[in-house]
């Protein structure tokens, strides 16, 4: 056995065996440390998955997903309701101008009036009520985007300008 290959190496074979034994012991310690860490991690995972009152984490996550879906649907319906409210708001009569005046001198009191009612786009009407001894006469004139096709009296024009915000 003198011709063995180990005898040809410049290092003693006993040292190689001792070195490999040390490496095996180091690897064994590493495996034991990894097993201990894995056991700790498994305990934490198991505790985490139990949840409270024996509920699983999956059920909690599914409930949260369902809640998010419900919130998204509610958000969508709220946005639709806000859009409808904005549409209705723009169509509503929201600008007002009122001028009281005495149509006929000597009648006593400012019983006549002109009212301008406009929406968001300055479309609406001017209502003029003229009070006299014989009765009360009411006239209405349409307003489109702040303009009228008919000539307005000075009181009607003042009421329209007041509604448009030109003067208060």
Q: Mind listing the pLDDT tens digit for each residue in 115-143?
A: 999 988 888 999 999 887 788 889 999 88
Q: What is the pTM of this model?
A: 0.52
Q: Mind listing the pLDDT tens digit for each residue in 76-89?
A: 999 999 999 988 88
The rounded distance, in Å, linking the Cα atoms of 42 and 47 is: 8
Q: Is 128 exposed, middle or buried (0-12, 13-18, 19+ CB in 10 A)?
A: buried
Q: Mind listing the pLDDT tens digit for each residue in 42-96?
A: 998 887 777 665 556 677 788 899 999 999 999 999 999 999 998 888 888 888 9
């Amino acid at each position: 056995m003198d011709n063995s290959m180990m005898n040809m190496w410049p290092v003693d074979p006993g040292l190689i065996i001792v070195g490999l034994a040390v490496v095996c012991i180091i690897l064994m310690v590493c495996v034991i440390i990894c097993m201990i860490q894995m056991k700790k991690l498994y305990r934490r995972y198991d505790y985490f998955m139990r949840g409270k009152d024996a509920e699983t984490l999956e059920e909690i996550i599914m409930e949260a997903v369902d809640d998010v879906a419900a919130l998204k649907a509610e958000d969508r319906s709220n946005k639709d309701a806000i859009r409808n409210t904005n549409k209705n708001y723009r169509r509503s009569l929201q600008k007002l101008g009122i001028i009281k005046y005495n149509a006929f001198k000597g009648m006593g009191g400012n019983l006549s009036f002109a009212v301008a009612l406009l929406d968001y786009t300055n479309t609406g009407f001017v209502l003029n009520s003229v009070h006299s001894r014989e009765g009360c006469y009411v006239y209405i004139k349409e307003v489109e985007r702040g303009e009228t096709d008919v000539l307005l009296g000075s009181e009607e024009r003042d009421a329209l300008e007041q509604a448009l915000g030109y003067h208060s």
